[in-house]
Amino acid sequence: MATALPLAREIPKPFLKWAGGKWSLAPEIAELLPHDLAKRTYREPFVGGGALFFWLKKARAPKKVVLTDTLGDLVTAYEIVRDDVESLLTALEHLRDAHSKEHFYEVRERFNARSTGSRVERAAWLVYLNKTCFNGLFRTNRSGIFNVPFGRFVKPNIADHPRLRAASRALEGVEIANHKFEHLAKKAKSGNVIYLDPPYVPLSKTANFAAYDGAFGPDDQRRLADLFRELDERGCLLALSNSDTDEVRKLYKGFDIQHIRAARNISASGATRAPVTELLVRNLNRYPKRS
């Protein structure tokens, strides 16, 4: 009798859709990171949807991973996926069964009432809203209120068992925390690989997309560039994504700058999701040479 082959495990992928998500670019960015990543600590302080992290876990798993973000509910979602994915799936099944336009707005109201819900419930609400809101885009206003309207998806995959379980396995042993990017000034060490994917400098005055958790303005961009230089001097191995603008080139003058073609994924109209050029900034002189 032939022995049944074990079922192939789902490849880890982002469990949330996120503005500026890097899944399509992850293979290219991964190839531009230090070649000995498996021996190093990897830090990602703007984790968002975590696309590059999930790709690296599949292709070039780092020795240690630290994921952080300023959005507390996002961090909670990652922790619940890592530690209690089955409870999360049960909660999502209930949300799936009750899904309607009216239910969406009820959940959004509960989510925006910061004091309501257990950690599992809040994680489930975030995933549910992300799967069912307009354009699948998580966004909050300056007051931290999730304000995206109902999306008209026919059959949103609210309780995606294979993807969430694969994400849970990928997150095993990963350190997750709620921090601003400035925490790197205290925590990052020489030899750490750090990928920074902040809200982008807008391409024009009319394209100033307000990122989740409020705005990330010119002062924030300058503080991040200053920290980039501080971490470079410390001996960290750095890569940073941002828009292809004169401002970004000026902020990171003197570093290696690569062009990467990326598809827009936050436009409401598919017709306007044309590829654009992004920049990947690296302190390439710190990178180890291939033997």
CATH number, domain with residue 87: 1.10.1020.10
Q: CA separation (Å) from 196 to 13, 115, 192?
A: 19, 31, 13
Alpha helices (H) along 72-118: 72-83, 85-97, 101-112
Contact between 228 and 238 under an 8 Å Cβ cutoff? The reply is yes
What's the whole-number average pLDDT of the chain? Answer: 90
Highest average pLDDT, of 9-23, 192-206, 234-248, 269-283, comes from 234-248
Q: Are residues 103 and 149 in the same domain?
A: yes
pLDDT value of residue 7: 45
CATH number, domain with residue 32: 3.40.50.150
Of 52-66, 251-265, 266-280, the range with the lowest mean pLDDT is 266-280
Domain hosting residue 193, numbered range = 26-70+179-286
pLDDT value of residue 276: 82
Residue 271 has pLDDT above 60, yes or no: no
pLDDT value of residue 263: 67
Q: Are residues 66 and 194 in the same domain?
A: yes
Within 8 A by CB and 6+ apart from 142, the residues are 210, 214, 215
Of 122-126, 142-146, 283-287, the range with the lowest mean pLDDT is 142-146
Kindly state whether residue 174 falls inside one of the protein's structural domains: no
Amino acid at 59: A
Q: Are residues 63 and 87 in the same domain?
A: no
Q: Choose among 18, 68, 66, 72: nearest CA to 45.
A: 68
Of 109, 133, 163, at which residue does a domain stop?
Answer: 163
Q: Are residues 47 and 91 in the same domain?
A: no
* SS3 state at 108: helix
Q: Are residues 269 and 213 in the same domain?
A: yes
Kindly state whether residue 12 falls inside one of the protein's structural domains: no
State both tokens at 207: 């394209």
Residue 6 has pLDDT above 80, yes or no: no
* SS3 state at 54: helix
Quick one: what percent of the chain has pLDDT higher than 90? 77
Q: Are residues 216 and 261 in the same domain?
A: yes
Highest average pLDDT, of 130-139, 177-186, 274-283, comes from 177-186
Q: Are residues 118 and 34 in the same domain?
A: no
Q: Are residues 252 and 203 in the same domain?
A: yes
Kindly state whether residue 46 falls inside one of the protein's structural domains: yes
Kindly state whether residue 256 falls inside one of the protein's structural domains: yes
Q: What CA–CA distance (Å, rounded) separates 255 from 83?
A: 39
Of 116, 137, 163, at which residue does a domain stop?
Answer: 163
Count Cα neighbours of 53 within 13 Å in the Cβ-side half-sphere: 31
For 126-154, write each residue's pLDDT tens digit. 999 999 999 888 888 878 899 999 998 88
Q: CA separation (Å) from 94 to 88, 120, 178?
A: 10, 13, 28
pLDDT value of residue 114: 85
The string of DSSP letters for 170-211 reads HTTT-EEEE--GGGHHHH--TT-EEEE-PPPPPSSGGG----
Kindly state whether residue 172 falls inside one of the protein's structural domains: no
The total number of structural domains in the chain stands at: 2
Q: Are residues 137 and 275 in the same domain?
A: no
Q: What is the mean pLDDT of residues 44-66?
A: 94
Contact between 23 and 14 under an 8 Å Cβ cutoff? The reply is yes
Kindly state whether residue 122 falls inside one of the protein's structural domains: yes
Q: What CA–CA distance (Å, rounded) separates 16 from 123?
A: 11
Of 131, 163, 195, at which residue does a domain stop?
Answer: 163
Q: Are residues 158 and 184 in the same domain?
A: no
Q: Are residues 61 and 89 in the same domain?
A: no
Kindly state whether residue 14 falls inside one of the protein's structural domains: no
Q: Are residues 128 and 98 in the same domain?
A: yes
Kindly state whether residue 17 falls inside one of the protein's structural domains: no
